[in-house]
Chain A
Amino acid sequence: MKKLSVKSVVAIGIGAALFFVLGKISIPTPVPNTYVSLQYAIQAVMAVLFGPVAGLLIGLIGHTLIDATSYGPWWSWIIASACAGLVIGLITMKMDISEGIDSKKIIRFNVAQAIAHLLAWGLIAPCLDILIYNEPLEKLFAQGLTAGVANIVTTGVVGTLLLVAYAKTVVKKGSLNKED
């Protein structure tokens, strides 16, 4: 395995801290007991900026910390969070935001996050839940898909806005013009 660079180590640490803090902050939705999970928007942005390994570990560490400090860890969902970060990072690996952002990149980011969250919450989380907790199928898939769709919407809106705003702050190459 390639060694993690110092920058990735720090990005994972601080990314996980962000994931944790945002996971503890709740923005209510009209559905009772459900909150907008802003942490997944941040995870997606960090996965784009720092790659798949960072996305994976931010999800893993951040989610484990959230669970361990509130009730026991729910491993199947922790692993699903990690996988979401990994998949987003993998699909957007060749995408360079520092060169500016266009609609093609935005679409690619959103396709990546939609695939990642569908895979994580529609497949990985319920399957692991069946293996570990053996709860009824219908409940798990209903729960997983609801969470997945909510995360896709959150990441799609908040994550995209963040990415666009971030790209604007980066000074592009050749952005200086010589005055005539």
Chain B
Amino acid sequence: MARIAILSYIKRDSLVHELTGRTKLIFFIAWSVAAMVTYDTRVLIAMLLFSFVIFKTSRIKIRDIRFVLGLAAVFLLLNNLFVYLFSPEYGVEIYGSRTVLFTIAGPYTVTLQQLFYHFNMTLKVICVVPVALLFIACTDPSEFASSLASIGISYRVGYSVSLALRYIPDVQREYHNISQAQQARGIDLSGKDKLFTRMKNSVAILLPLVLSSLNRIETVSNAMELRGFGRNRKRTWYNLRRMKRNDWIVAAFVLAILIVDLLVTFWDKSRYYNPFL
């Protein structure tokens, strides 16, 4: 069966796996916020180095996530290309000085400032990638709902997330079955048909999928209602784990990073670290 390559939980024995889902969720959120806020090169490099250390301790191999890294690389490359095509002088604007290295053609010169801006922009994205990948690869999906609930999100929403994780393989299998059946009847989604025909053809696959999903929603929600889901304001979780010593240390560590990040970033009232002054 043509499976789509999707990153999922990889069971290993490591310090990162041992942490509770709650700790990892807090870490993931604080880390993304920290990376989003700052543009300071020093902070970003420190975060990147830390994320490599964390990656190493998780015992996840590069081999396990190679296809994802490929996607990320293509994405970053395109993004950088577009930024450069649209405004080759953006770095000059930000850093307030201009050091021309060489000229490609017309307005497209390569300046040191522009390169530095691209470097920072790329860093900003890259330093989240290992943490995001680890969050998915090291968190048991069945623990996910309980960790969402433990940081104050309504357990109903947490339950929606775990239902989504639970039903992704089913929906995928169903999509595959329907599309094979429809392809046997001559419905084509590949590049051989016209775009509009392709879109119309996709309805022939989507409609059975939507109808069966609506049936599924009916069945599952009836089953949940019969078991009394949503009766009480609170809910206990089978796989909720207590925070251990390491959890507290990691949580404190990421909060410290976030605070340092905010301090360094807003100390001189500029998000940028400017080496050109």
For the complex, what is the distance from the CA of A130 to the CA of B172, rounded to whole Å?
35
Chain A residues within an 8 Å CB radius of B72: 70-72
Among the listed B6, B199, B224, which residue makes an inter-chain contact with A10, where contact means beta carbons less than 8 Å apart? B224
- Residue interface bits B155-197, CB-to-A below 8 A is 1, else 0: 0110111111111101110010000000000000111000110
Chain A residues within an 8 Å CB radius of B131: 72
Interface positions of B from 191 to 250, Cβ below 8 Å from A: 191, 195-196, 198-200, 202-203, 206-207, 209-211, 213-214, 216-217, 220-221, 224-225, 229-230
> In the complex, are the beta carbons of B203 and A162 less than 8 A apart?
yes
Chain B residues within an 8 Å CB radius of A161: 200, 203
Check A14/B216 contact, CB under 8 A, given A4-B157, A69-B7. yes
- Judged by a CB distance under 8 angstroms, whether B101 is at the interface is no
Among the listed A18, A75, A143, A154, which residue makes an inter-chain contact with B171, where contact means beta carbons less than 8 Å apart? A18
A66–chain B nearest beta-carbon distance, Å = 10
Residue of A15, A33, A49, A62 contacting most chain B CB atoms (<10 Å): A15
Among the listed B36, B85, B168, B206, which residue makes an inter-chain contact with A75, where contact means beta carbons less than 8 Å apart? B36
Residue of A nearest to B72 (CB): A71
Among the listed A57, A143, A157, which residue makes an inter-chain contact with B200, where contact means beta carbons less than 8 Å apart? A157
For the complex, what is the distance from the CA of A69 to the CA of B161, rounded to whole Å?
14
Residue of B nearest to A49 (CB): B214
Residue of B nearest to A41 (CB): B206
Residue of A22, A29, A62 contacting most chain B CB atoms (<10 Å): A22
Chain B residues within an 8 Å CB radius of A24: 4, 6
Chain B residues within an 8 Å CB radius of A132: 36
> In the complex, are the beta carbons of B175 and A10 less than 8 A apart?
no
Contact residues of A: prevailing secondary structure: helix
> In the complex, are the beta carbons of B167 and A17 less than 8 A apart?
yes
- Judged by a CB distance under 8 angstroms, whether A169 is at the interface is yes
Among the listed A11, A22, A28, A69, which residue makes an inter-chain contact with B8, where contact means beta carbons less than 8 Å apart? A69
Chain B residues within an 8 Å CB radius of A30: 195
> In the complex, are the beta carbons of B168 and A38 less than 8 A apart?
no
Interface positions of A from 11 to 27, Cβ below 8 Å from B: 11-18, 20-22, 24-25, 27
- A–B complex contacts, Cβ < 8 Å, 15 sampled: A9-B157, A9-B229, A10-B163, A10-B220, A13-B161, A33-B78, A61-B164, A71-B129, A133-B121, A138-B86, A139-B83, A139-B86, A162-B206, A165-B203, A169-B211
Residues in A lying within 8 Å of B, measured CB to CB: 3-7, 9-18, 20-22, 24-25, 27-30, 33, 36, 38, 41-42, 45, 49, 57, 61-62, 65, 67-73, 75, 132-136, 138-139, 142-143, 154, 157-158, 161-162, 165-166, 169
Q: A14-B164, A162-B203 are in contact. List 12 more A-B contacts (CB 8 A).
A: A13-B167, A16-B164, A17-B164, A18-B171, A18-B209, A21-B171, A33-B78, A41-B206, A45-B210, A68-B136, A71-B129, A162-B206
